[in-house]
Structure 1
Amino acid sequence: MAKSLLVAYGLWALGGPLGLHHLYLGRDSHALLWMLTLGGFGGAWLWDFWHLPTWVAAANGTEVPTDRAGAVPAFSPLRLAGQVTVGMYFGLVAALGLPWVPTLLAQPLAVGLGVLLVSWVGNQRTEVPSTLAAAFLSSLLLQGRVLALLPVSVAASVAAQRHRRYKPCGTPRPGLPTRLYHLGLACLAFTAPLAYRGLWGAAGVAGTLLSLPRAAIEVLLLPLRASWLLAEALGLSSANPARESGASFRQSSWSKRQQWAYEV
């Protein structure tokens, strides 16, 4: 079914930060990237306005064919910057949402997946094992520290750039329900740890709020308790008969040796 440029612009205007226009044009990697970063951290989706005619032509198969067999795509500094940025972003999300997972596992895996997502946007792809291997090796050398996110992301991005290739033409595309299912799973895997951490933090805040009334009562009773202690120290308060009778009973039941030891 032919894609309409007018519909693409409408989806871009209504749901550009969520990548609806990319989903309409079959650019699922780009759509997922926009979903997880809210349109390229809030502003990159605006740049799609000038690229929509080219993307619609490519989706309709009216783009001028070129021989890409064995060709390497041109180096793009913008794509490299996106790989490094998204890789660091995914690494931070893993550090916040998966604190119970070992850092040497969560950090390079998240960074590598972020770099791979940017690498597969559009008509390009890269080798998955090489990118992940670079991320894991660099993270191991830097001992998985949080400050290592930048060098780990740079190493994975350089490896992805070294192995960049064009996607093969004529690859059959799955149906829309299957594509939506895969995108939903990816979004769920990304947002579930953050949602769990958010609920955990909200539960802690709720517990603190519930304890505030008791703390307020304790604060209000402080002057009363202080005055009672002061009166007791000055001998103005009456003694407790039960306490005195209990003390005399205990003293009368002692032996002479125990009383002597107590007096000493």
Structure 2
Amino acid sequence: MGKSVMLTYALWVVGGPFGLHHLYLGRDNHALLWMLTLGGFGFGWIREFLRIPAYVREANQDSVEDRRRPTNLPPLHPVRFIGQACVGIYFGTVAMIGLNSLSFFYLIVLPISVAVGVHLVSNVGQQTSDLQKTLTACLVTSSLLYGSAFAPLPISLAATVTAAQHRRFKPPRSPRSTQTLAPRLFRLTLALVAFSAPLGFCIFHNTTATLYYLSDCIAALLDFFWFVPWLRHMLESILLMPYRILCAVTGGGYYEETWRKVLEILLREYTEREKDALRVLSLHTDASLEEINQGYRKLVKIWHPDHNPSTEAEDVFLKIQQAYELLQRWHRPRHSK
């Protein structure tokens, strides 16, 4: 039985960001991509309003026994190319958040994660690519960028170019090979679990580290535009927009304070704990790294147990040491003035 355009549109409206209409059409790779990215970060789902009739035609043609596909090279579509790069970066970033503590992360885990993201987009629709060559490009590029926080970007670009060079049409599917819904859902569930398990573990058991990694990424992105002050200011305004809207709607309160604490971390502003550390060192909130070092050395001379025989010297010195180490972690080289 052929697929219905009207039913496909209905599923697109009801569960489009989760790929429900693609699941109906037998486009499992597309459905999985939508589940993992919430409809291509929202943009892909909206764009599909005009693409659904073509998807239905492809699904109905695949149900014909003598269906043939071209043997020539598929056209290079910019949307697919951009999608491969974005999803590769997305998969790589998720891996860095959840699995970067592994000793072999940059040599194995990160390149595999990016390659899977790029190859998933390559397999959407009637096209596919050479996974082995895509993975090889990721492995080579990742080894050259070992330890870099920006590694997912060049790795994904290298994989995207490689996948585009080796793109081809999928062989036609035989109606007899069409599987029932149960095994298809089982495979999709396994893929979802494999993608979300590391990230879920990191969020629930290492929330602070997750937020600080995100803050590092955002701060690095903002610092990249230091030479264009107006663009940096615009990006900061966009990040602060939810907080300002919340203030305007609620007029303040508990939720505003909670959101503000999250923004303090994401925008690399001082948190309450870091403000306490500044007070321990008798410093103001805009103290530079040099001033922090000077304040620390000055207090160490006063409170070091070897120089101060008082009973409280050891406790005070410990607080000074902890405050200094906390501020040192915050003041990365890119924050130095």
Q: Same fold (TM over 0.5)?
A: yes
Per-residue Cα deviation, 1:185-207 (whole angstroms, up to 9, x for no partner):
00000011111112103699xxx
Q: Residue 87 of structure 1 contacts residue 153 of structure 1 at CA under 8 Å; is this kept in 2?
A: yes
Q: How many residues of Structure 1 are paired with residues of Structure 2 in the alignment?
A: 204
| Aligned-partner Cα distance in 1 for 2:140–2:72 | 29
| Bigger shift: residues 99-108 or 195-204 | 195-204
After superposition, the Cα gap between the structure-2 partners of 1:70 and 1:13, relative to the gap in structure 1 and judged at 3 Å, is: same
Q: What secondary structure, in the 3-state scheme, does the structure 1 residue paired with 2:150 have?
A: helix
Looking at both structures, which has the greater relative contact order when contacts are Cα pairs under 8 Å and sequence separation is at least 6?
Answer: 1
Indicate how the Cα distance of structure 1 residues 62 and 116 shifts in structure 2: closer, same or farther if over 3 A, else same. closer
SS at match of 2:206: helix
Compute the TM-score of the two structures, normalised by the length of structure 2.
Answer: 0.57
User: Does structure 1 residue 179 correspond to structure 2 residue 184?
Assistant: yes
CA distance in 1, matches of 2:158, 2:113: 14
Name the CA distance, whole Å, in 2 between partners of 1:114 and 1:202.
Answer: 24
Alpha-carbon distance between aligned partners in 2 of 1:63 and 1:183, rounded to the nearest angstrom: 22
After superposition, the Cα gap between the structure-2 partners of 1:61 and 1:98, relative to the gap in structure 1 and judged at 3 Å, is: same
Partner of 2:225: none
- Cα pair 1:107 1:144 within 8 Å, conserved: no
Residue pairs, 1:1-264, within 5 angstroms:
1-61=1-61, 68-101=69-102, 102-171=105-174, 172-201=177-206
Q: How far did 1:62 drift? A: 8.3
Q: Is the 8 A contact 2:111 2:139 kept in 1?
A: yes
Equivalent position of 1:242 in the other structure: none
Instruction: Assess, with a 3 A threshold, how the Cα gap between structure 1 residues 110 and 177 changes in structure 2: closer, same or farther.
Output: same
For 1:35 and 1:159, the matched residues in 2 are separated by 25
Q: Match of 1:149, as an amino acid?
A: P
For 1:167 and 1:136, locate their aligned partners in 2 and report how far apart those are by CA, in whole Å. 25
Q: Which moved more, 1:114-123 or 1:71-80?
A: 71-80
RMSD of equivalent CA atoms:
2.1
Cα deviation per residue 1:196-249 (whole Å; 9 max; x = unaligned)? 112103699xxxxxxxxxxxxxxxxxxxxxxxxxxxxxxxxxxxxxxxxxxxxx
> Contact 1:134–1:156 at 8 Å: present in 2 too?
yes
SS at match of 1:146: coil
Percent identical: 47
Measured against aligned partners, the alpha-carbon deviations of 1:83-129 in whole angstroms (never above 9, x if no partner) come to 11100000000000112322222211111000000000000001110
After superposition, give the CA deviation of every residue in 1:30-86 in whole Å (9 maximum; x if it has no partner). Answer: 100000001111232011111111111221228999864431100111111111110
Amino acid at match of 2:85: V
Instruction: Give the counterpart letter for 1:22 in structure 2.
Output: H
TM-score, with structure 1 as normaliser: 0.73
Deviations 1:154-191 (A, max 9, x none): 11111111110001013422211111000000000001
Unaligned regions of 5+ residues in structure 2, if any?
A: 210-337
Residue pair 1:57, 1:63 contacting (<8 A) in 2 also: no
Query: In the aligned structure 1, how far is the partner of 2:21 from the partner of 2:180?
Result: 17
SS in structure 1 opposite 2:74? coil
Larger gyration radius, structure 1 or structure 2:
1
Hey, what's the Cα distance between the residues in 2 that align with 1:133 and 1:61? 34
- CA apart distance, 1:28: 0.5
